[in-house]
Structure 1
Amino acid sequence: MGFFPDLPITTERLTLRPFTRGDVDAVLDYRGREDVALYLFDAPLSREECALAVQQRILQTSWSEEGDKIVLAAVLSESDTLIGELSLIWRSEDARQGEIGWIFHPDHHGRGYATEAAGALFDLGFQGADLHRIFARCDARNGSSWRLMERLGMRREAHFREHALFKGGWDEEFVYAVLRREWRNGG
């Protein structure tokens, strides 16, 4: 089962669209920051690393097999300003599972953009891709991320304590999920 969504996706204030080569500097503006990289597997990215990441993301707009990602730029519709990115990863065809993730520029936190964008990606996953369950993971210290998961109606399913080494220390991770039938009474 492949999935080839109709893009871009528009919400009240955002456009979720494929990345373009012209997005490198906007991505560097947030992915080059230490405070953004704190809970990511990557260190802050250089301009060259951002250019490579954007080049990879340009092609990540559909699913053909498990592990494929749809990665979209979150852009303010009013100003055409790229403020972050979201991903939806196909984790299991048989169990119809997906994993969602997001990274937003700190200058745009606290305005509901991540909630709006993630909601649109849930709709894409549940209605468009016919997923049964979508989950997300975050570092237990990343309160902004797990509070977003809770605002979205996701439930905490796991708290993995000291389960992996991460950037020189033991990592604690939360796993949240929502089922299709739970998402906005969608099922």
Structure 2
Amino acid sequence: MMEAYHEFKSSYEITKFGFFKQGLMSLRTALELGILSTYWAIVGEDDITFKNWLLAREKTPFTKEIQNKLLRNLNIQIFNERYPLKDFFDKLSILHNYVHTKGVPHSTFGDYQKMSFEQESSETLFERWYQAFQECVQLILILHLLKFPIASLKYDFIKKFGSYDKSPFCGGLFGDYQEDLVKFLGQEKLNFIQEIAHNDHETVQLIEWLDSHPDLPKEEIDKIVYEQHKTWGEQVSISPVTIQQQTPRLLLRNFQCSDTIAFANYRSDPEVAKYQSWDVPFSEAQATAFIESLQQVNPGVLGEWYQLAIELKSTGEMIGDCAFCILADDEQQAEIGFTLARKYQSKGYATEAITYLLDYLFTTYKLHRIRANCDAENTASIKLLQRVGMRCEGHFIKSLWFKNNWVDEMWFAILRDEWYQAKHPYPEP
């Protein structure tokens, strides 16, 4: 299922840049992966065919075979009687028109008038993709909820186990995610799936088993939550997360040991350091220690800054960095910062990097608000923050003791809704 999720993300990113045909092709792959996930769950993971398929020793089953196998599931049969799955598949047959396996008329060398996206506006093409996106997600959700119907029911697992993660069969569709289910399925379909769940023998047994367990005392729940957060913190140093955000000219990525010299060089430039927290010169030893420390942490830890290198794709040079910190006292908000080597300033690189950083943060962490601050005399940074759509929310007079002087601070911010409306013309994924 994770492969389908990543394919959905890829489709969104591709379409966002106007590659509508490729975005639809990627949607087709996401749909197939999502349906296969349910198919193999019904077949059973102990099935020898499934094991061979995982090892690429078995061909992927044909669509008709998959549909026939899905309809052997009783819950899917019941749902199919009221909402025929054929209708869902027929709606999504449009996705097959954008691959060459459907014949010459649907290929690049076929009827150009049929396939020419230049005949339609970007808005129309995006609406076509967005409609298909919603229908794909809806079908995959329906199939998985029918196979695992307990996921459609709202149940307080925390009072029984202290954490969703400690539930022996808990997935990711509980609690607040119920609202997302309504958004994608509609209340009527969700109500029917929940009705099926309440009549599903296995689900009823699971609920009875859950109800037979006593509720945990609040003190024990708090202890479990604390230990879980502590474990997450320990895991940070074990398996650092890899980030690679492509922009037209840049690559935003994790720092590497090979960045040491470039990093030390631009941090040692007095003009670059003028409005930054460090002093010059900035030695290679300091750069090495800083980069090594980054390799022991993960992004998104509350209250901790995480730095990303900015690489120029055309040359492979590391030309600057940007950073973010999700606020310790509010996980819905974050602060960002940025630095660029002097020779690469005034070329639009910083604007490009911060635009993509904002998009990454709003999309990945579902933040409500992102803020940034700079010295009131740092006109370049002020103009950059305004270019990416952040508004000035305050000018604080002599508010910060900085490098032996009281200086003015300018604070900027942008809300999630504002970002998607003003700088991101397409609906959220």
**Structure 1 length normalisation: TM-score?**
0.92
Superposed displacement of residue 92, structure 1:
4.5
Aligned to 1:87: 323
Can you give the 5+ residue segments of structure 2 that lack an aligned partner in the other structure? 1-228, 233-239
Q: Is structure 2 residue 268 aligned with structure 1 residue 22?
A: no
Q: 1:147 aligns with which of 383, 399, 403?
A: 383
Alpha-carbon distance in 2 for matches of 1:28, 1:80: 17
Superposed displacement of residue 127, structure 1:
0.9
Q: 2:296 aligns with which of 46, 51, 59?
A: 59
Change (3 A) 1:5 1:55: closer
Change (3 A) 1:18 1:147: same
Superposed displacement of residue 58, structure 1:
2.9
Q: 1:133 aligns with which of 369, 379, 403?
A: 369
Asked if structure 2 preserves the Cα contact closer than 8 Å seen for 1:61 and 1:71, the reply is no
Change (3 A) 1:5 1:53: closer
Give the alignment of 1:1-187 within 5 angstroms: 7-44=243-280, 45-64=282-301, 66-92=302-328, 94=330, 96-185=332-421
Can you give the 5+ residue segments of structure 1 that lack an aligned partner in the other structure? none
Superposed displacement of residue 59, structure 1:
3.4
Asked if structure 2 preserves the Cα contact closer than 8 Å seen for 1:92 and 1:98, the reply is no
Q: Secondary structure at the match of 2:414?
A: strand
Aligned to 2:210: none
Superposed displacement of residue 68, structure 1:
2.2
Asked if structure 2 preserves the Cα contact closer than 8 Å seen for 1:18 and 1:61, the reply is no
1:127-179 Cα distance to aligned partner (Å, 9 max, x none): 11100000001011111111100001100001111112211111111000000
Alpha-carbon distance in 2 for matches of 1:94, 1:50: 30
RMSD between aligned residues: 2.0
Alpha-carbon distance in 2 for matches of 1:26, 1:6: 21
Asked if structure 1 preserves the Cα contact closer than 8 Å seen for 2:325 and 2:334, the reply is yes
Q: Which structure has the highest helix share of the two? A: 2
Alpha-carbon distance in 1 for matches of 2:405, 2:268: 22
Asked if structure 2 preserves the Cα contact closer than 8 Å seen for 1:60 and 1:68, the reply is no
Asked if structure 2 preserves the Cα contact closer than 8 Å seen for 1:5 and 1:128, the reply is no
Q: Secondary structure at the match of 1:79?
A: coil
| Larger Rg computed on CA atoms | 2
Superposed displacement of residue 184, structure 1:
3.6
Q: Secondary structure at the match of 2:327?
A: strand
1:59-100 Cα distance to aligned partner (Å, 9 max, x none): 344223x21233110001111010000001111564600001
Alpha-carbon distance in 1 for matches of 2:331, 2:285: 38
Aligned residue pairs total: 186
Change (3 A) 1:53 1:6: closer
Q: Secondary structure at the match of 1:181?
A: helix
Alpha-carbon distance in 1 for matches of 2:252, 2:319: 10
Asked if structure 2 preserves the Cα contact closer than 8 Å seen for 1:98 and 1:135, the reply is yes
Asked if structure 2 preserves the Cα contact closer than 8 Å seen for 1:61 and 1:72, the reply is no
Asked if structure 1 preserves the Cα contact closer than 8 Å seen for 2:255 and 2:294, the reply is yes
